[in-house]
A and B are shown apart, each in its own frame.
Chain A
Amino acid sequence: MSKQAPTPDEEPADADPETGADAERAADFRPATTGAESVVHALENAGVEAAFGVQGGAIMPVYDALYHSDIRHVTMAHEQGAAHAADAFGVVNNEPGICLATSGPGATNLVTGIADANMDSDGMLALTGQVPADMVGSDAFQETDTIGVTAPLTKHNYFADNPDSVGDTVGEALALADEGRPGPTLVDLPKDVTLGDTDTEPGPAEPPETTRPQYVADEENVAAAADAIEAAERPLLLFGGGVIKADATEAARSFAREHEIPVVTTMPGIGSFPEDDELCLSWAGMHGTGYANMAITHTDLLIGVGTRFDDRLTGGVDTFAPEAEVIHVDIDPAEISKNVHADYPLIGDAGTVLGQLDDAVDAAPDADEWRRQCQEWKQEYPMDYATPDDEPLKPQFVVEVLDEATADDTIVTTGVGQHQMWASQYWTFTEPRTWVSSHGLGTMGYGLPGAIGARIAADDDREVVCIDGDGSFLMTIQSLSVAVREELDITVAVLNNEYIGMVRQWQDAFFEGRRMAAEYNWCPEFDKLAEAFGARGWRVDDYDEVADTVEAALAYDGPSVIDFHIDPAENVYPMVPSGGANGKFALTEEQL
Chain B
Amino acid sequence: MSSGDDGADRGGRETPPKHGLAGPEPDERPHPEGRRNSQGIRIDPEVEATHEPRRAVFSALVEDEPGVLSRIAGLISRRQFNIESLTVGPTTVDGHSRITMVVEETEPDIDQIRKQLGKLKPVITVGELDEDAVRTELVLLKVEGTEPDKVHAITEMYDGQTLDAGAETITVQLTGDEQEIDDAIDAFRQFGIIEIARTGYAALARGNQPTAPGEKPGTADEPTRPTNTQ
Q: Which residues of A contact B12 (CB under 8 A)?
A: 543-544, 547
Q: Quick check: B10 and A210 within 8 Å, CB to CB? A: no
* A548–B78 CB distance below 8 A: no
CB distance from B49 to the nearest CB of A (A): 10
Contact-size category for B: 35 or more
CB of A338 within 8 A of CB of B112, answer yes
From residue 54 to 70 of chain B, which have CB atoms closer than 8 A to chain A?
Answer: 63, 66-67, 70
A404 touches B10 (CB 8 A): yes
Residue total for A at the interface (Cβ-Cβ under 8 A): 78
Report A342-385 CB contacts with B as 1/0, cut-off 8 Å: 00000100000000000000000000000000000001111111
- A295 and B31 CA atoms in complex are apart in Å by 11
Instruction: In the complex, identify which listed stretch (A73-81, A245-253, A317-325, A440-448) lies at the interface while the others stay far away.
Output: A317-325
CA distance A386 to B54 in the complex (A): 56
Does B189 interact with chain A (Cβ within 8 Å)?
no
**Contact A586–B20 (Cβ < 8 Å):** no
**B18 A385 Cβ-Cβ under 8 A:** yes
Contact B36 A384 (CB under 8 A): no
Which B residues are CB-close (under 8 A) to A334? 112, 115-116, 118-119
Closest to B230 in A: A333
Grouping DSSP codes into helix (H, G, I), strand (E, B) and loop, the B interface class, with mixed when no group exceeds half, is loop
Q: Determine the residue in chain B with the shortest Cβ distance to A172.
A: B121
Neighbour of B21 across the interface among A323, A573, A584, CB < 8 A: A573
Across the interface, name the chain A residue whose C-beta is closest to B30: A298
CB of B166 within 8 Å of the partner chain: no
In the complex, A383 Cα to B19 Cα: how many Å?
A: 10
Task: Tell me how far the C-beta of B61 lies from the nearest C-beta in chain A, rounded to whole angstroms.
Answer: 10
Q: How far is the CA of A147 from the CA of B124 in the complex (A)?
A: 21
Given A151-B74, A333-B230, A275 and B1 contact (CB-CB distance below 8 Å):
yes
Indicate if the CB atoms of A320 and B230 lie closer than 8 Å. Answer: no
Is A384 touching B21 in the complex (CB atoms < 8 A)? yes
Q: Is the CB of A337 within 8 A of B13?
A: no
Between B2, B17, B120, B227, the greatest number of chain A beta carbons within 10 A of the residue's beta carbon is seen for B2
CB distance from A569 to the nearest CB of B (A): 13
Q: When the two chains form the complex, which single residue of B7, B11, B29 contacts A294, counting CB atoms closer than 8 Å?
A: B29
Contact with A along B109-141 (1 / 0, CB 8 A): 001100110111111100000000000000000
Tell whether B39 is near chain A: CB-to-CB under 8 Å.
yes
Task: Find B3's partner among A155, A337, A382 (CB 8 Å cutoff).
Answer: A382
Q: With an 8 A cutoff between CB atoms, is B24 at the interface?
A: yes
| B22 close to A384 (CB less than 8 A) | yes
Chain A residues lying within 8 Å of B119, measured Cβ to Cβ, are: 332, 334
- Contact A588 B35, beta carbon cutoff 8 Å: no
Do B20 and A323 touch (CB < 8 A)? no
Question: Closest CB of chain A to B54's CB: distance in Å?
Answer: 17
Selected contact of A543 from candidates B13, B22, B26, B38, CB within 8 Å: B13
By the criterion CB–CB under 8 Å, are B3 and A322 in contact?
Answer: no
Bound-state CA distance A333–B67 (Å) is: 24
Chain B residue nearest to A180 (CB atoms) is B119
State how many angstroms separate the Cβ of A117 from the closest Cβ of chain B: 16
A458 to B27, CA, bound (A): 46
Chain A residue nearest to B17 (CB atoms) is A388
Which has the most chain A C-beta neighbours within 10 Å: B66, B74, B225, B230?
B230
A381–B226 CA distance with the chains assembled, in angstroms: 51
Interface residues as binary, A382-402 with B (CB distance below 8 Å gives 1, 0 otherwise)? 111111110000001100110
Measured between beta carbons, the chain A residues less than 8 angstroms from B207 are none
Q: How many A-B residue pairs have CB under 8 A?
A: 174
CA distance A214 to B115 in the complex (A): 13
* CB <8 Å contact, A401 and B40: no
CB neighbours (8 Å) of A289 from chain B are: 1
User: Are A151's CB and B116's CB within 8 A?
Assistant: no
Question: Do A347 and B230 contact each other (CB < 8 Å), given the known contacts A384-B19, A591-B25?
Answer: yes
- A385 CB contact (under 8 Å) in B1, B3, B24, B38: B3
Residues in B whose Cβ lies below 8 Å from that of A332: 119
Residues in chain B near residue A214, CB distance under 8 A: 228, 230
Q: Are A322 and B42 in contact (CB under 8 A)?
A: yes
Is the CB of A228 closer than 8 A to any CB of chain B? no
Asked if A333 and B36 make an inter-chain contact with CB atoms under 8 angstroms apart, the answer reads: no
Given known contacts A319-B35, A322-B34, A341-B39, A210 and B230 CB-to-CB distance under 8 angstroms = no
**In the complex, what's the smallest C-beta–C-beta distance from B83 to chain A, in angstroms?**
16
Chain A residues lying within 8 Å of B46, measured Cβ to Cβ, are none
Tell me whether A584 and B29 are in contact (CB under 8 A).
yes
Is B10 in contact with A387, judged by CB distance below 8 angstroms?
no
Assess whether A337 is in contact with B1, with CB atoms less than 8 Å apart: no
Which residue of chain B has the shortest Cβ distance to A548 in the bound complex? B11
| Inter-subunit contact B32/A297 (CB<8 Å) | yes
Question: Residue on A with the closest CB to B25?
Answer: A591
Can you name 17 extra interface pairs (CB under 8 A) apart from A318-B36, A322-B33, A389-B13?
A151-B70, A156-B120, A159-B66, A211-B121, A298-B30, A317-B38, A322-B35, A332-B119, A334-B118, A337-B40, A337-B111, A340-B40, A383-B3, A383-B21, A547-B12, A584-B31, A591-B25
List 27 A-B pairs, Cβ < 8 Å: A151-B74, A210-B123, A214-B228, A297-B31, A298-B30, A319-B36, A324-B34, A333-B230, A334-B119, A341-B39, A347-B230, A380-B24, A382-B3, A382-B4, A384-B3, A384-B4, A386-B18, A387-B15, A397-B10, A400-B10, A404-B10, A543-B13, A547-B11, A574-B21, A584-B31, A587-B21, A587-B22
